[in-house]
Structure 1
Amino acid sequence: MPTSPAASTRRRTRRRLRNAAVALLSTAALGASLLSPAAANAQTPPDEIDKSDNIDLVANLPKPEGFDVSNSDLAFTGDHVIVGNYNGFVIHDVSDPEAPEISSAVLCEGGQGDVSVSGDLLYYSVEYPQVNEECGSGESTAEDPDAFEGIRIFDISDKTSPEYIAAVPTDCGSHTNTLLQGEDSDYIYVSSYAPSERFPNCRPPHDKISIIEVPKDDPTSAAVVSQPVLFPEGGNHDQDNLLRPTEGCHDITVFPAKDIAAGACMGEGVLMDISDPLNPVVTETVRDDNFAFWHSATFTNDAKAVIFTDELGGGGAATCNEETGPELGADAIYTLKGRKNPELTFASYFKIDRHQSDTENCVAHNGSLIPVPGKDYFVQSWYQGGVSIIDFNNPREPREIGYFDRGPVSETELVRGGTWSAYYYNGYVYSSERTRGFDVLRLDDRRLRGAERVTFDEFNPQNQPQYRGR
């Protein structure tokens, strides 16, 4: 979700963060607050639901105490699902997916809360300036040269008691992070944006990303090792309807099996050559007058197509309606042609046609492939448009084949809510609901049953594996 750097906006957001965690902010240096299991596993019933016959909600865990700000992205390791939150993260035990339990809830505020996991390490994005690296140090301002923004690193070898072990500052903080795993080191592509001449650590043009190297045998020595400029010519700044111009990228999805990446970079979508992980090179760029904010990207399993999303309205507007139409705030599907430096060719748009009310923020957001060998199915979040199952085997004629949709958070005013991310993992769909917590969904559709033969030990949706059925 785009976040303005304006001081007034950040102050309002930080007040919400502070009020949510005021009783739990006294922590030691590089320490984090852990909630008790009883507080973490409190139950409340879900709201009224509309859905297709081939999808069912089998579990819901509300957000634990202290996490009443927005949930964000997800990462998966073994029998655990990690849910990012603007106040920290929550680790869920899904060894029984239909009876999940919270293993730990770590309060360590900083905003955005994008997460990636690598073995026993968790990488967590901090976008709102903090006084220092400590959890609970309190809010600062982007005008403060000593404020901390960037990546926090946790040791999660004990899922019931994560340990905060390191922090790496990055220019403009970290809105999202993407993991690229090497033999001896992890590389984290840090995407951030919204520079200003007022911000000493976030100055324009900021047409770059930061790359952090984390040595696997010494993660506490993690550091920024490269800051490649992706847009030396400045990117797309001239399109009239852009929410933000190109400033680095909003999010990047890597496809290590083919040494390529797709970047959603506010003003444009890009392909990158990542054969040299410290020096990604943009090889192809596309722009679209219908797109206001290139938000995220997902490859097909054969990397012959990519889905880009447009987060029209920054995720805070009611855009799934007849007035907005079927092409704004949609997915755009592009095919890739050519073996070396493939070209992107537009195939179609997809947008849910289940019109939502004027009090429901709704727009294309995060999703992943459903790993049916040889087929192209996609599960995707649409905020208060719910979870959508999309068949795009014909990239020119995508269609929805299933959905799960709650009623509005409020029927009288627009209150931001809905599902931020929905991803398929080892037989179930897991959804990070901004207001209602953690959802587990089960699919019952013969077209999707082949996915049950595909299992992973670890899954970061922005580090896209190439799967094979078993």
Structure 2
Amino acid sequence: MPTSPTPSPRRPVRSQARRTLLTFAGAASLVLGAVAAPAAALDGSSADDVETSDNVTHVANFPKPSPVDNTNSDLAFTGDYAISGNYDGFVIYDISTPESPKIVSTVLCEGGQGDVTVSGDLLYFSVDYPRAGEECGAAQSSPADPNAFEGMRIFDISDKSAPKYVSAVRTDCGSHTNTLVPGKDGETDYIYVSSYAPSDRYPNCQTPHDKITIIEVDKNDPASAAIVNEPVLFPDGGNHDQPGLLRPTEGCHDLTSYPSKDIAAGACMGDGILMDISDPVNPVVTERVRDENFAFWHSATFTNDATTVLFHDELGGGGAATCNERIGPQRGADAIYSLKGGKLDFEGYYKLPRHQTNAENCVAHNGSLIPVPGQNFFVQAWYQGGVSIIDFNDPSDPKEIGYFDRGPVNEDRLVSGGSWSAYYYNGYIYSNEIARGFDVLKVDDRRLKPAEKVTYEEFNPQSQPRYKPGR
């Protein structure tokens, strides 16, 4: 899960320009039903200068729908649906026919980034730009306002055509990203909230901010959701002194849990960490690593057997052109670590091998495993570097084996765009494009064929499932 294209998440990206049109459950929100216009069917070469490797086909694109047409962000999946986060709210797509996705509903609920996680009939939605109130439609506010709201909103999505706002939980510094840790009783969810950019000028986001926030949700009574702990992960303050950091360690940017193995990996600006989450209310940091080439530890992914971890560096905060010869292959890259005996050992870097222009923001971003049992393949978003498919079975020598890449949004100057998130789900790759909408890709590669036998009923990439053949 990413930073915003502009480096500081504490500043709203634009003024409140819209008013809500529908009110329900005491909260204002705009909900639109199914959109009649279908996605465009594509053949791999479209008018917007798409290029793909021979094993990738671009099968569909759906432009961002109004009024949820700000910056696209992360994705979550449940059954035949993909949920697309956006700085203005979220969109639910019917992907039962992946080549022709259809919009089921759009929800206008502004609050910045809009990181999304799904759990059964519940949707957890991050708010990291301050609002005047908890409900959808609340006006833009200021982080200097002690009454401003930032944190988590919870929706009931049992009816995908009419999501309902349920409740909200205020968290310090808001929620830039959120990570699901399902309770072992099957009736409780724990949401790990990551946030950062504190300031003594902000009453709800004071320094030091070396913690995360844990929210407990009773799935049978989500309106009662509340904070149960705010564990300090960096009692020594974390990494503040390394030259070249985009931000010092101040909490975490994103966490990835692996619930079946009771572990989590954290990307925390200046530090990469491992945690024991066997007691989900009281996670314990067990390992920390740093890298002189990393400017911003952004996100992480485990291999299925949890013997390797990929950490991703968002050099330039997602808004810079870093996929070029001048920056080189070791900055703005993935760092691959082996995990043995609870210790992380560096193995190698992966950087997009296709140089991009100086008019294209490009850096390592959100991705997921391609679930080939016993093998290590990864699909990853690189903003305007597009989507890269990576073979990292040899962690010291990872290689690109497929790609999808558009031309620049603007050929003359850098305009933010590109793939924010790219994930493999039930036979297809889905990419959420900042500027140009929701894309569907099909990969045809004998090395990846076994993944087509792995089926998820629900998929949150930052809450990794353990897969096996035929699941």
- TM-score range, shorter-chain basis? over 0.9
Q: Is the 8 A contact 1:40 1:63 kept in 2?
A: no
Task: Report the counterpart of residue 436 of structure 1 in structure 2.
Answer: 436
Q: Is the 8 A contact 1:72 1:112 kept in 2?
A: yes
TM-superposed CA distance for 1:27, in Å, is 4.5
Residues 107 and 31 of structure 1: CA distance in aligned 2, closer, same or farther (over 3 Å): same
Distance 1:31 1:262 in 2: 36
Distance 1:443 1:87 in 2: 31
TM-score, with length taken from structure 2? 0.95
Distance 2:313 2:87 in 1: 22
Task: Report the counterpart of residue 31 of structure 1 in structure 2.
Answer: 28
The structure where helix makes up a greater share of residues is: 1
Q: Which whole-Å deviations, capped at 9, do the CAs of 1:295-353 have from their partners, x for residues lacking one?
A: 00000000000000000000000000011000010000000011xxx100000000011
* RMSD, aligned CA: 1.6
Task: Report the counterpart of residue 395 of structure 1 in structure 2.
Answer: 395
Q: Is the 8 A contact 2:260 2:465 kept in 1?
A: yes
Task: Report the counterpart of residue 357 of structure 1 in structure 2.
Answer: 357
1:127 alignment partner AA: D
Residues 96 and 390 of structure 1: CA distance in aligned 2, closer, same or farther (over 3 Å): same
Distance 2:91 2:435 in 1: 14
Residues 376 and 301 of structure 1: CA distance in aligned 2, closer, same or farther (over 3 Å): same
Q: Is the 8 A contact 1:380 1:421 kept in 2?
A: yes
Task: Report the counterpart of residue 446 of structure 1 in structure 2.
Answer: 446
Task: Report the counterpart of residue 199 of structure 2 in structure 1.
Answer: 196
Distance 2:28 2:394 in 1: 50
1:147 alignment partner AA: A
TM-superposed CA distance for 1:47, in Å, is 1.4
2:320 alignment partner AA: A
Task: Report the counterpart of residue 108 of structure 1 in structure 2.
Answer: 109
Q: Is the 8 A contact 1:380 1:423 kept in 2?
A: yes
Q: Is the 8 A contact 1:154 1:164 kept in 2?
A: yes
User: Gaps spanning 5+ residues in structure 2: where?
Assistant: none
Task: Report the counterpart of residue 258 of structure 1 in structure 2.
Answer: 261
1:405 pairs with 2:405: yes
User: Gaps spanning 5+ residues in structure 1: where?
Assistant: none
Q: Is the 8 A contact 1:40 1:64 kept in 2?
A: no
1:364 alignment partner AA: A
Distance 2:270 2:36 in 1: 43
Q: Which whole-Å deviations, capped at 9, do the CAs of 1:4-50 have from their partners, x for residues lacking one?
A: 7969x725x132xx34xx25467463232012434775769761111
Task: Report the counterpart of residue 460 of structure 1 in structure 2.
Answer: 460
Q: Residue 10 of structure 1: SS of its match in structure 2?
A: coil
Distance 1:23 1:261 in 2: 40
Q: Is the 8 A contact 2:68 2:107 kept in 1?
A: no
Task: Report the counterpart of residue 125 of structure 2 in structure 1.
Answer: 124
1:139 pairs with 2:136: no
Task: Report the counterpart of residue 283 of structure 1 in structure 2.
Answer: 286
- Alignment: residue pair count: 461
Q: Residue 322 of structure 2: SS of its match in structure 1?
A: coil
Residues 310 and 41 of structure 1: CA distance in aligned 2, closer, same or farther (over 3 Å): same
1:331 alignment partner AA: D
Q: Which whole-Å deviations, capped at 9, do the CAs of 1:219-243 have from their partners, x for residues lacking one?
A: 1100111100000111000001000
The percentage of counterpart residues that share the same residue type is 67
Task: Report the counterpart of residue 169 of structure 1 in structure 2.
Answer: 170
2:383 alignment partner AA: Y
Task: Report the counterpart of residue 369 of structure 2 in structure 1.
Answer: 369
Distance 2:246 2:413 in 1: 23
Match of 2:228 among 203, 225, 229: 225
Match of 2:319 among 316, 323, 343: 316
Q: Residue 384 of structure 1: SS of its match in structure 2?
A: coil
TM-superposed CA distance for 1:104, in Å, is 0.3
Decide which moves more: 43-52 or 367-376.
43-52
TM-superposed CA distance for 1:2, in Å, is 3.0
2:98 alignment partner AA: P
Residues 362 and 25 of structure 1: CA distance in aligned 2, closer, same or farther (over 3 Å): farther
Task: Report the counterpart of residue 271 of structure 2 in structure 1.
Answer: 268
Residues 5 and 353 of structure 1: CA distance in aligned 2, closer, same or farther (over 3 Å): closer
1:236 pairs with 2:233: no
Q: Which whole-Å deviations, capped at 9, do the CAs of 1:85-133 have from their partners, x for residues lacking one?
A: 0000000001111111000010000001000000000000000000001
2:134 alignment partner AA: E
Q: Which whole-Å deviations, capped at 9, do the CAs of 1:347-396 have from their partners, x for residues lacking one?
A: 00000110000100000000000000100000000000000000000111
Q: Which whole-Å deviations, capped at 9, do the CAs of 1:170-223 have from their partners, x for residues lacking one?
A: 000000000011122100000000000011110011100000000011111001
2:416 alignment partner AA: R
